[in-house]
Amino acid sequence: MNKLKIVFAGTPQFAESYLSSLINSRHDVISVFTQPSKRSGRGLLFNHSPVRNTAKENNINIRQPEKITIMETDALTELEPDIVVVVAYGLMLTKEFISVPKFGCINVHPSLLPRWRGAAPIQRSIEYGDKLSGITIMKMEERLDAGDIIYQEPIKIEDNDSSISLHKKFMQIGTDSLLLTLDSIVENNFMLHPQDESLATYAKKIKKEEAKINWDNRAEKIHKKIMAFNSWPVAETTLSGERIRIHESEYKKLEINGIPGNIRSIDNKFIEVFTRDGSLLIKKLQKDNSKILNAIDFINSTDLKGKKFE
């Protein structure tokens, strides 16, 4: 067997990159499962997922169930797929659904499992200061992200990586990893490695209220939050009662610290703000209902004298 009949399950742009790589491979994507389209905007027009859009452009059968039921399991059975590839789908698969394909269901997960199972592995890995992450491809089971590992590819997290930049790394490296894994499955040349449950951690879903910056934290911790929450929900603070969203930063240690939230200095590249330990160097920020500005443009448009970030 050189070509697999694949059913793909995914929803956001991250998943779409994997779908596109499969469409352009020698394999045959026969159907796509993606989350239901939602109405949004003033005209309440349907907002379709990136995966749905690509599937439609390529005349691939599309299913958008609210949840996986026996009806979806029956539909999958009729398709007779060799394998189901799952990437950021967002719905839980049932035991019956997983058991339908010849080679089961495999999931592409953006962490080095068993670390950071769950909804937000990229953001949590940055927020908690991990130096290493990676792509894991596992054979799915009922428990969330707990299946046996087929393939892992480590990826270094740099100090100034954001969720956006790490997503791009995962898309570039992960798509190649997926195709290599499918080759190994076709050739029956792979091993399954059980996850060590004692090392498992959970990447809980990001909540909007987490975005508020606490200037009494260390500069490094605040910086990691800013980069983790770029592009959503975006870390925020207030300046003279006005909400300010911070998109990009750096940090540095200081011999002597000032009052957290006070502005230490401004220059052509940064707005430097005291924290409990060290200073945060703000590079890009945004007022409500305004565009994102670099530090110098913000300084030129805003009087910062005597003001403090709260």
Q: Walk along the chain (310 residues) and give the pLDDT tens digit of each residue.
A: 689 999 999 999 999 999 999 999 999 999 999 999 887 666 667 789 999 999 999 999 999 999 999 999 999 999 999 999 999 999 999 999 999 999 999 999 999 999 999 999 999 999 999 999 999 999 999 899 999 999 999 999 999 999 999 999 999 999 999 999 999 999 999 999 999 999 999 999 999 999 999 999 999 999 999 999 998 999 999 998 999 999 999 999 998 889 999 999 998 789 999 999 999 999 999 999 899 999 999 999 998 888 899 9
For residue 47, the model assigns a pLDDT of: 85
For residue 150, the model assigns a pLDDT of: 98
For residue 44, the model assigns a pLDDT of: 62
Give the residue among 276, 283, 270 at the shortest CA–CA distance from 226. 283
All structural domains of the chain? 5-203 (3.40.50.170), 208-301 (3.10.25.10)
Backbone angles phi, psi at 279, to 5 degrees: -130, 150
On the 0-12 / 13-18 / 19+ scale of CB atoms within 10 A, 291 is exposed
- Tell me the CA end-to-end span of the chain in Å, nearest whole number: 62
For residue 1, the model assigns a pLDDT of: 61
